[in-house]
């Protein structure tokens, strides 16, 4: 999971310590570029392709993790 959190910190341009499941995406600029970067990151870390519309609706990192878990099943 570390690789994913490190990647998310980079994508969201925040400190790694700030990244946790509860991290609120609306507190930062959860824009189309961040979403595109997250799709690439998740694919790299988990070999899972997430849909942009579903990612756009995510409110927290935990929501993203739920999407990944659902896709893995």
Partner 1 sequence: MIQKIHAKVIDIASYLPDSILENDELAAIYPDWSAGKIYEKTGIKQRHIASKDQTAADLAYLAALNLFSRNKVKAENVDFIILCTQSPDYILPTSSCLLQNRLGISKNSGALDINLGCSGYVYGLSLAKGLIETGAAKCVLLLTADTYSKFIHPMDKSVRTLFGDGATATAITGIKSVDQFIGPFVFGTEGNGGLNLIVEAGLSRSPKTDKTALEVFDSSGNIRCKENLYMNGAEIMEFTLKEVPKAMATLLEKKGCKKDDVDYFILHQANKFILDALRKKLKISEAKLPIFLEHCGNTVSSSIPIVLEHMLNNGIFGNEKKLMLVGFGVGYSWAGCLLNFKIGE
Smallest separation (angstroms) from partner 1 to the CB of 63: 15
DSSP string, 28-43: S---HHHHHHHHHHHH
Nearest CB to partner 1, comparing residues 36 and 70? 36
The footprint of partner 1 (CB under 8 A) covers: 29, 31-33, 35-37, 39-40, 43-44, 49-53, 55-56
- Which residues are paired to 60 by β-bridges? 24
Nearest CB to partner 1, comparing residues 2 and 22? 2
CB contact at 8 A, 71 and 29: no
């Amino acid at each position: 999971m570390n690789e994913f959190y490190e990647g998310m910190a980079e994508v969201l341009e925040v400190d790694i310590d700030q990244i946790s499941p509860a991290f609120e995406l609306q507190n930062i600029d959860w824009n189309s570029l961040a979403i595109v970067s997250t799709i690439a990151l998740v694919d790299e870390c988990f070999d899972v392709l997430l849909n942009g519309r579903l990612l756009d609706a995510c409110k927290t990192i935990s929501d993203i993790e739920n999407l990944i878990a659902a896709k893995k099943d």
